[in-house]
Amino acid sequence: MIPLRDENPASLTPVVTRVLIAINLAVFLYQLSLGPQLREFLFTWGMVPERITLALQNHDESLLTAVLPAFTSMFLHGGWMHLIGNMWYLAIFGDNVEDRLGHFGYLLFYLASGLAAAAVHWYTNSDSRVPTVGASGAIAGVLGAYAAAYPGARVITLVPLFPIFVQVIALPALVVLGLWFVLQFFSGFLTLGAAGAGIAFWAHVGGFAFGFLVMKLFGAAPRPREPSGAWVER
């Protein structure tokens, strides 16, 4: 299933969401400019789980320098499809979470979700030497928060029907995002112990769970809407 848009207007202009999308795009364009140096760049600023493990065990480098890429990796991507897919989900679901938490709270939440996702990925892949890049862990947190705050919101979704037909259906957010979470969980389960898995499924699971729990426990109450019904809708 591919979400196309939601029918859940926000009262705040999603400034932080738009800035995050712009930063991710700008960083990716910079990556493209690096040419042969890109590999070294990704190994330096992407999160390599083994670096953290060795810093904890052997103190080969400071824990700060080993963990810092867990932050910077949130703004790196492995290709155009990786970038577009992540930004697509962020654009659809980020505005309402930003509306619920406020601009600053949302920014802190987004970054914390990314770090929580990175921690889960490290825990399940502590010996991996493969750099992990992408905003999907942080965005998974946004999806979890959206599912917790707006479970009944209608999401216009492209649903493939075997073998070749597709249907556009309005589904509750909890169905769309819940199925996404289940897919990530079982995909992660199937990759346990598999070397070189290409997608950090457990980072997605960790980010989503973090976002869902944080919104349930600490999420701000919905903002009151103006009687005029004039809302900024993406």
Is the backbone peptide bond immediately before 163 cis, with ω within 30 degrees of 0?
Answer: yes
Tell me the three state secondary structure of residue 159: strand
**pLDDT by residue, tens only, the chain of 234 residues:** 889 999 999 899 999 999 999 999 999 999 999 999 999 999 999 999 999 999 988 877 888 998 999 999 999 998 999 999 999 999 999 999 999 999 999 999 999 999 999 999 999 888 889 999 999 999 999 999 999 999 999 999 988 877 677 888 899 999 999 999 998 888 877 766 555 556 788 899 999 999 999 999 887 666 555 444 444 333
Q: Where are the domains of the chain?
A: 2-218
User: Does the model's pTM come out above 0.75?
Assistant: yes
List 158's β-bridge partners, or say none: 2, 168
List 166's β-bridge partners, or say none: 160
Q: Which CATH architecture has domain 2-218?
A: Up-down Bundle (1.20)
